[in-house]
């Protein structure tokens, strides 16, 4: 019997607002001393009244629209009642039966192709406090209590751990593109619980499931689900399907899931409408206005770049993973296309090659990001114009780019200071080739009898003789003429 996984995700995303969900407290408390960004409202003192954060509602609606969800024009807040040290009021303000948005999907792409993952709902709630465990004691930091939080629930349509990871990565990208959240899993901006069960392939019936709590990285999500597939397969083989049910956590050090305290059932929370907050009523005009505010989303940008600039799938994906880098690249391509003759595709290929393969590498070495580059887009465009017009060869161009990153000087200034300008004046390229071939006669003979891999070797030797001044393309063409391989 072949079994297949059935996976659903519950994702919590912290919203990047200035203040908390129902009070005016600073919403950047994660970097502040413990219990300093709190007030009577978020601490649940008697007599205080919550006031919904309008910006959080706007952000959540933009997120819902970006995820193809239907925004409900009428929704309401509810009290979710349970006792735990991280919940100062003894209840959490959430949304139960009338959420902000419902019935949507997010399209993902894996090695198996494209697939739409259904979304059940998106609702708003407030975050809980943070527990810090020290031996037998637990400390509570209430700075996080009351932070605006979106919960996004998928339908059980994810069929593999890989799909779950790719879904979360695409969701993170969208949250960053629309400015709703930094969605950094390591900082708890994006947290995920996963529900997983197995069933015979081809069946529609749902079987007992396991919930895996508080997965804090994409790797943890994938590894925990892979482990659960193996564990639950063993339970099926042993005839213990019902033993699968329960709540588990992921132990990174052991590489396995471990049992945790059982989560309350829905009826245990005793949901009822929040009496201090009126229902949320929106107009279609408001929703349409927020839809118009949405930027181009990652998947749309990838498709457009591949169609307009003829980019490889891998390059388009890499450049959309960092919105700033993508914006920088597009500005460069547009400016460059206005200066160079030829197709936009060729111009884009030149720009992307130097950005992806060279600029990103230098930034990584220097441990800086795009915002920290000491030069402007125009400087990089001028650099690429020098390359395209063969005023600097590829070797010296790499030196030039590195100097630009290190000093912030213009490419023209560095070219003059470092004497990097490409010039064949004073060189007889043909004579230089004959000279290096005579001094490396054994390799030259191998080249003549067909070992064409040595062409690059001789190009390098001639470049060395000309102190990097000559054009390697011209050198290669002349070598091919001399050996008759043109």
Dihedral of the CA atoms 454, 457, 461, 466 (nearest 10)?
100
- Spell out the long-range contacts of 289-298 with Cβ–Cβ below 8 A and sequence spacing 24 or more: 290/58, 290/61, 290/62, 290/65, 291/65, 293/62, 294/62, 294/65, 294/66, 294/178, 295/177, 295/178, 296/177, 297/66, 297/174, 297/177, 297/178, 298/170, 298/173, 298/174, 298/177
Give me 288's structure tokens: 């349409």
Alpha-carbon Rg for the chain in angstroms:
30
Give me 430's structure tokens: 């043909």
Pairing of strands 113-126, 101-110: antiparallel
Contacts of 334 (CB under 8 A, 6+ apart): none
Query: If you average pLDDT over every residue of the chain, what do you get?
Result: 92
CA 98 to CA 282: how far, in whole Å? 13
Give me 63's structure tokens: 């997120």
- H helix or E strand, kind and range, residue 405: helix 394-407
pLDDT, tens only, 271-330? 999 999 999 999 999 999 999 999 999 999 999 999 999 999 999 999 999 999 999 999
Q: Residue 201: pLDDT above 80?
A: yes
Pairing of strands 246-251, 256-259: antiparallel
pLDDT, tens only, 221-252? 999 999 999 999 999 988 888 878 899 999 99
Q: Residue 441: pLDDT above 90?
A: no
Q: Residue 264: pLDDT above 80?
A: no
- Which residue shows structure tokens 């060729």? 346
Do residues 69 and 76 make contact, with C-beta atoms less than 8 angstroms apart?
no
**DSSP string of 94-117, one letter each residue:** E--SS-SEEEEEEEEEETTEEEEE
pLDDT average, residue stretch 64-83:
97
pLDDT score of 422? 59
CA 277 to CA 288: how far, in whole Å? 25
pLDDT score of 456? 86
- Backbone dihedral angles phi then psi of residue 15, each to the nearest 5 degrees: -85, 140
pLDDT score of 466? 76
């Amino acid at each position: 019997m072949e079994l297949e996984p059935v996976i659903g995700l519950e994702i919590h995303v912290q919203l990047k607002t200035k203040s908390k969900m129902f009070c005016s407290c600073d919403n950047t408390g994660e970097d502040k001393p413990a219990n300093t960004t709190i007030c009577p409202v978020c601490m649940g003192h008697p007599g205080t009244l919550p006031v919904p954060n309008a910006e959080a509602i706007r952000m959540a609606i933009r997120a819902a629209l970006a995820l193809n969800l239907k925004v409900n024009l009428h929704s309401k807040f509810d009290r979710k009642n349970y006792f735990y040290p991280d919940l100062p009021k003894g209840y959490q303000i959430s949304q139960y039966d009338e959420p902000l948005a419902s019935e949507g999907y997010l399209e993902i792409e894996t090695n198996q192709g494209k697939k739409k993952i259904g979304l059940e709902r998106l609702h708003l709630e407030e975050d809980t406090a943070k527990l810090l465990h020290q031996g037998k004691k637990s400390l509570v930091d209430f700075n996080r209590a009351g932070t605006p939080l979106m919960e996004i629930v998928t339908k059980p349509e994810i069929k593999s751990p890989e799909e779950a990871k790719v879904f979360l990565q695409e969701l993170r990208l969208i949250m960053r593109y629309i400015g709703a959240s930094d969605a950094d899993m390591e900082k708890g901006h994006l947290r995920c619980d996963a529900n997983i069960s197995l069933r015979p392939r081809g069946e529609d019936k749902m079987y007992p499931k396991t919930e895996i709590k508080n997965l804090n990285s994409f790797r943890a999500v994938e590894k925990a689900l892979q482990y659960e597939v193996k564990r639950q397969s063993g339970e099926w083989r042993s005839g213990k399907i019902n033993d699968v049910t329960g709540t588990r956590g992921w132990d990174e050090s052991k590489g396995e899931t471990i049992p945790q305290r059982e989560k309350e059932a829905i009826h245990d929370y005793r949901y009822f409408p929040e009496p201090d907050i009126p229902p949320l009523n929106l107009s279609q005009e408001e929703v349409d206005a927020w839809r118009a505010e949405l930027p181009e989303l990652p998947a749309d940008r990838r498709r457009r770049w591949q169609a307009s600039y003829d980019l490889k799938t891998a390059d388009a994906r890499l450049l959309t993973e960092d919105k700033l880098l993508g914006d920088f690249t597009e500005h460069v391509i547009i400016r460059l296309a206005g200066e160079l003759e030829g197709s936009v595709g060729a111009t884009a290929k030149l720009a992307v090659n130097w950005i992806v393969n060279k600029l990103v590498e230098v930034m990584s070495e220097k441990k800086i990001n795009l915002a920290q580059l000491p030069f402007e887009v125009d400087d990089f465009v001028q650099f690429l114009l020098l390359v395209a017009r063969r005023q600097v060869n590829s070797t010296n161009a790499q030196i030039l780019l590195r100097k630009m990153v290190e000093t912030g000087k213009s490419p023209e200034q560095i070219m003059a200071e470092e004497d990097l300008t490409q010039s064949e004046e004073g060189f007889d390229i043909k004579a230089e080739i004959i000279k290096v071939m005579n001094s490396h006669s054994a390799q030259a003979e191998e080249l003549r009898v067909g070992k064409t891999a040595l062409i690059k070797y001789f190009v390098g030797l001639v470049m060395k003789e000309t102190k990097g001044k000559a054009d390697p393309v011209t050198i290669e063409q002349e070598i091919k003429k001399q050996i008759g391989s043109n």
